[in-house]
Amino acid sequence: DGGITQSPKYLFRKEGQNVTLSCEQNLNHDAMYWYRQDPGQGLRLIYYSQIVNDFQKGDIAEGYSVSREKKESFPLTVTSAQKNPTAFYLCASTQGQRENQPQHFGDGTRLSIL
């Protein structure tokens, strides 16, 4: 079945450490997104990518970095500069930046600080 795979499901970070969250999709979608979900705040956009080798900052990009070297992969690195990284991270994809294309979501990665 086609879908979005996020790994790991749970991740723990030590102070001062960078960690990378994986997102892979086999839907042949052009656009991919990273969101952060906090209780009572819904989802907030971190980064998005419309095509390979291109990405843009979302609303809360500080302390995060991404790459898009392959169409199917969009990893997110939570750097030590992100002072409040504890959250649930969701990856999504869609066919392209055009109307009538809802986003499909992965199962998420829950990141916690040790």
Partner 1 sequence: AQSVSQHNHHVILSEAASLELGCNYSYGGTVNLFWYVQYPGQHLQLLLKYFSGDPLVKGIKGFEAEFIKSKFSFNLRKPSVQWSDTAEYFCAVARITDDYKLSFGAGTTVTVRA
* Window of 13-21, 66-74, 77-85, 92-100 that interacts with partner 1 by CB under 8 A: 92-100
The reply on whether position 35 binds partner 1 by CB under 8 A is yes
Instruction: Determine which residue in the list 87, 108, 109, 111 makes contact with partner 1, applying CB under 8 A.
Output: 108
In angstroms, the CA 44 to CA 9 distance is 19
Nearest approach, Cβ of residue 42 and partner 1 (Å):
4
Instruction: Please state, in angstroms and as integers, the Cα–Cα distance from residue 89 to each residue in 48, 98, 99, 102, following that order.
Output: 13, 24, 25, 19
Report residue 76 as tokens: 């997110």
In angstroms, the CA 64 to CA 18 distance is 9
* Chain residues that interact with partner 1, rule: CB under 8 A: 33, 35, 40-45, 48, 50, 56, 58, 90, 92, 94, 97-108
